[in-house]
């Protein structure tokens, strides 16, 4: 009785890692029950017991791979914060990492980009939180001229679109400058001074203060919430 719970995680982990390796190296068609069982050193029924069916296994693979990618990104955010690194360059480094990951893992990228899967995926939500943390650091530095949520949406949409476009293009015909050009276009939209705001005003100051409103202990929770609401309204009034 006591040994069984310890075995299951080990077996499940071996199955997921074997399936992830097959998916990465050979694509979705290679992820058959027999191939995964052979690669993991288990019997096929073990896969059905752990994951139900192939779709359940692929769900677990997507979550496993994305969780690892997100953990690595979260670590870089903490390191950059500790070193007081330039938040814009930190965002740029995260962008490049995400583009490289998508191009190196096309089958996984297509799975992870599915809107229905993203909505129910804890790892996908964690990944968005990492992006939001990077954007928050830019806002705290007073360098964001749009609301944080809009900046997060723009970066995420541009990233998914860029990888999708590059994957839909033969490798020898891909534009190597496309990803950087797309990020630069987003940064021109969201950053102060790239170019200057289309209508001078308090929007960027409101965005910066909104990013730190939660830490204003001199105010009550209700006052902080009201202040955040006011600042959000100012930030949108561009």
- For the stretch 73-107, pLDDT in tens is 777 767 766 677 899 999 999 999 999 989 988 88
Cα-Cα-Cα-Cα dihedral sign, residues 33, 38, 44, 47 = negative
The DSSP secondary structure of 213-226, one letter per residue, reads GGG-TTS-HHHHHH
Q: Residue 144 region, left (φ>0) first, then alpha (ψ -120 to 50), else beta?
A: beta
| pLDDT recorded at residue 173 | 95
Mean pLDDT taken over the chain: 83
Q: Which fold does the domain 1-52 belong to in CATH?
A: Arc Repressor Mutant, subunit A (1.10.10)
For the cut 90, the answer to whether the pLDDT of residue 205 exceeds it is no
Q: Where is average pLDDT lowest: 17-26, 33-42, 67-76?
A: 67-76
Q: What is the mean pLDDT of residues 194-219?
A: 64
Rounded CA separation 213/152 (Å): 19
**For residues 20 and 11, what is the distance between their CA atoms, to the nearest angstrom?**
14
Q: How is domain 61-195 classified at the CATH fold level? A: Tetracycline Repressor; domain 2 (1.10.357)
Residue 183 has pLDDT above 70, yes or no: yes
Q: Looking at 79-93, 96-110, 173-187, 193-207, which range is the least confident one?
A: 193-207
- φ, ψ for residue 207, nearest 5 deg: -60, -45
Asked if residue 209 lies in contact with residue 136, where contact means CB atoms within 8 angstroms, the answer is no
Hunting for tokens 């191009």 — which residue is that? 103
Spans of all domains in the chain: 1-52, 61-195, 197-238
Terminal-to-terminal C-alpha distance of the chain: 64
**What pLDDT is recorded for position 120?**
81
Give percent of the chain above pLDDT 70. 87
* 99-147 residue pLDDT tens: 998 998 888 888 778 888 778 888 788 889 999 999 999 999 989 999 9
Task: For 76-112, give one letter per residue: b (16+ CB within 10 A) or e.
Answer: bbeebeeeeeebbebbbbbbeebbebbbebebbbebb
3-class DSSP assignment, residue 191: strand
Global confidence as pTM? 0.68
User: For position 82, what pLDDT does the model report?
Assistant: 67
- For 28: left if phi > 0, alpha if psi spans -120 to 50, otherwise beta; the answer is alpha
pLDDT at 75: 76
* CB-based contact 91:148 (threshold 8 Å): no
């Amino acid at each position: 009785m006591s040994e069984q719970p310890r075995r299951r995680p080990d077996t499940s982990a071996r199955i997921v890692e074997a399936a992830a390796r097959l998916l990465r190296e050979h694509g979705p068609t290679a992820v058959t029950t027999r191939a995964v069982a052979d690669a993991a050193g288990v019997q096929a029924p073990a896969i059905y017991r752990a994951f139900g069916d192939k779709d359940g296994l692929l769900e677990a693979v997507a979550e496993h791979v994305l969780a690892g990618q997100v953990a690595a990104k979260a670590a870089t955010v903490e390191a950059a914060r500790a070193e007081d690194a330039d938040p814009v360059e930190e965002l740029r480094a995260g962008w490049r990492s995400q583009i490289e990951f998508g191009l190196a893992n096309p089958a996984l990228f297509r799975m992870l980009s599915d809107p229905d899967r993203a909505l129910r995926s804890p790892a996908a939500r964690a990944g968005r939180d990492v992006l939001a943390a990077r954007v928050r650091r830019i806002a705290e530095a007073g360098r964001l001229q749009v609301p944080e949520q809009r900046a997060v949406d723009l970066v995420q949409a541009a990233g998914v679109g860029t990888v999708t476009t590059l994957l839909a293009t033969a490798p020898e015909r891909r534009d190597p400058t496309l990803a950087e050009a797309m990020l630069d276009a987003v940064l021109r939209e969201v950053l102060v001074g790239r170019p200057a705001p289309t209508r001078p005003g308090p929007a960027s100051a409101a965005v910066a203060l909104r990013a730190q409103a939660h830490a204003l202990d001199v105010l009550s929770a209700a006052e902080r919430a009201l202040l955040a609401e006011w600042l959000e309204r100012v930030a949108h009034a561009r």
